[in-house]
Amino acid sequence: MATEGGRTWTVDGDQRARSIEEIDLHDLAMQPVLKFLLAFLIGGVFFLLPVRYGGEITVPFDIAVSYITETFPGAVGVYALAIIVAGGVLTTLAMLTDEPIVGVDLSYFETSVVFWILRLAGLVLAPIMFFNLGPAWLHTPGTGGLMWGTLVYSVGIIIPIGAVFITIFVELGGLEFVGTLSRPVMKPLFKVPGRAALDSLASWVGSYSVGLYVTRNVFEQGGYHKRDVFTIATCFSTVSIGFVGVVAATLDMLALFPVIFGAYFVCVVLTGIILVRIPPISTTPKEYIAEPDPEVGFTGSLADYARFALSEAVKKADEGESFLEAATRGFVDGLKLTSLILGTILAVGLAATLLSANTPVFDILGRPLVPIIAALGIPNAAAVAPATIVGITEMYVPVLLVTETAPMAKFFIAVLAVSQLIFFSSVGPMIMDMFSDVPIRFRDLVGLFVIRTVILVPVIAGMTHLVAALGLL
């Protein structure tokens, strides 16, 4: 994606920080305050509140997904088939014409040729899996059975259900509240404006695609320079809470969802602090592609930040949608996103599981890492080693390779897979395409993946031993 004329701007010095007395705070009327608080409570409880259910400690998110997939497996299968086919058909129409079809703009479904092919592969495979066609080796519990009956079903339900609650949280003030409170740490730790917390949170509670969309808009409006964009796109385009749930569900670890998510959060913060201080991020120029609109700083006590954050959140809730409107839009957006990725996940994941089950490809690639993994005390090193590197192709592949391993190995890969961030089934090409005017190149992403992995392997090994020592594994 290029900018017209290729003109850039720079800014000398930082903007003056304003105090709370200089901010026009929003009126804290009872109705919008309660609207924000209820939305914030709904989002937090649904995703993060530990509860006991069926003899286990889990979260309401897990309960809802498990109830649907276990109670209505036939209906979930029909839904998965329909949405994969719809994604393939709509992508094909979008790629063949730029004109609306029956008045509907299909530009949302446009993609690269590679991912068009993958969605078409999913369209072909979905009926084969649903109707149990083809050879028996395609449907074994460790290959097609795992992909279709576990992963596709889980992803298909988790995204739209999660999107309902995520959108309520985001659109009714939760995003502004947490983002504003995060501003004091963004600049000193990650060298980005405080507003970048909003992009990051959009990825955490929604999708990296949403976060990248926000980043692109702010970039085009002069709110970020190129180094800001490089940092946000490669360090904070995170896997969402819902996707972490998919990983945990695949490994039968949803009961440990809060622990996995907490470890993931620490890994993202740690790698972000390090990566922004080394190339290629640190050598990216601080150039704007539009008239610069740098963030006006804010300074004050913790109480001042809290007042400012509450004001921003209540303003958003006051001006935002109703609960029903937010929930409806979230559900629709979740279905659209599911239609984009579910066919790709089925195609790539099935190929990976078949390669793993029937060829030594991943074993060969990971063989040099086996002694390192074993030395770190992680069991099933022969299975874990290849899983540490194949995540660059697709985030789910390493997870699928360790479904039959010990709990410590599962936890290690669950956290590593979501913390590596860069994978070329989706986010990599998206970053390169959306920010070609930075530019963010293929070699940059591969290098960052390698650096992240080198940092994370010993860190997550230590986390794994700590969790095991606490008796949770």
**Tens digit of pLDDT for each residue in 358-368?**
888 777 878 99
CA distance 272 to 458: 16
Which pLDDT value is given to residue 131?
A: 95
Burial of 312 (0-12, 13-18, 19+ CB in 10 A): buried
The answer, yes or no, to whether residue 389 has pLDDT greater than 60, is: yes
pLDDT band at 83 (very low <50, low <70, confident <90, very high): very high
The answer, yes or no, to whether residue 355 has pLDDT greater than 70, is: yes
The 8-class DSSP code of residue 379 comes to S
Q: With beta carbons less than 8 A apart as the criterion, state whether 59 and 246 touch.
A: no
Averaged pLDDT, 240-260: 86
Euclidean distance between the first and the last CA atom of the chain, given in angstroms as a whole number: 46
Which range is least confidently modeled, 37-46, 170-179, 315-324? Answer: 170-179
Averaged pLDDT, 60-80: 90
Using DSSP's 3-state secondary structure scheme, residue 51 falls into strand
Averaged pLDDT, 85-102: 89
Which pLDDT value is given to residue 56?
A: 66
pLDDT band at 210 (very low <50, low <70, confident <90, very high): low
Q: Which residues contact 217 (CB under 8 A, 6 or more apart)?
A: none
Which pLDDT value is given to residue 4?
A: 46
Q: Which residue has the tokens 């963030």?
A: 295
The answer, yes or no, to whether residue 42 has pLDDT greater than 70, is: yes
Which range is least confidently modeled, 154-168, 200-214, 440-454? Answer: 200-214
pLDDT in tens, 286-316: 999 898 877 667 788 889 888 988 998 899 8
Which pLDDT value is given to residue 205?
A: 64
Q: Which residue has the tokens 């669950």?
A: 414
Return the closest-CA partner of residue 423 out of 349, 338, 335, 336: 349
pLDDT in tens, 426-439: 677 678 766 878 88
Return the closest-CA partner of residue 308 out of 459, 178, 206, 407: 178
pTM: 0.70
Q: Which residues pair with 288 in a beta bridge?
A: 9
Q: With beta carbons less than 8 A apart as the criterion, state whether 6 and 219 touch.
A: no
Which range is least confidently modeled, 41-55, 254-268, 436-450? Answer: 41-55
Which pLDDT value is given to residue 61?
A: 78
pLDDT in tens, 52-64: 877 766 778 778 8
Q: Which residues pair with 298 in a beta bridge?
A: 18
Which pLDDT value is given to residue 78?
A: 97
CA distance 413 to 179: 29
Peptide bond before 280: cis, by omega within 30 degrees of 0? yes
83 token code pair: 């949405």
Using DSSP's 3-state secondary structure scheme, residue 15 falls into coil
Using DSSP's 3-state secondary structure scheme, residue 291 falls into coil
Which pLDDT value is given to residue 34?
A: 95
CA distance 324 to 333: 14
Q: With beta carbons less than 8 A apart as the criterion, state whether 244 and 419 touch.
A: no
Q: With beta carbons less than 8 A apart as the criterion, state whether 95 and 117 touch.
A: no
pLDDT band at 169 (very low <50, low <70, confident <90, very high): confident
pLDDT in tens, 184-208: 888 899 999 887 887 787 777 656 7
Amino acid sitting at position 198: L
Query: How far are the Cα atoms of 89, 91, 281, 386, 440 from residue 420, in angstroms, in the given order?
Result: 31, 28, 16, 14, 17
The answer, yes or no, to whether residue 15 has pLDDT greater than 70, is: no
93 token code pair: 């129409």
The answer, yes or no, to whether residue 67 has pLDDT greater than 70, is: yes
Which pLDDT value is given to residue 1?
A: 41
Q: Which residues pair with 52 in a beta bridge?
A: 57
Q: Which residues contact 414 (CB under 8 A, 6 or more apart)?
A: 247, 248, 251, 253, 260, 399
CA distance 439 to 162: 33
pLDDT band at 253 (very low <50, low <70, confident <90, very high): very high
Most confident range (mean pLDDT) of 88-97, 323-332, 461-470 is 461-470
Query: How much is the mean pLDDT over the chain?
Result: 86
CA distance 369 to 366: 5
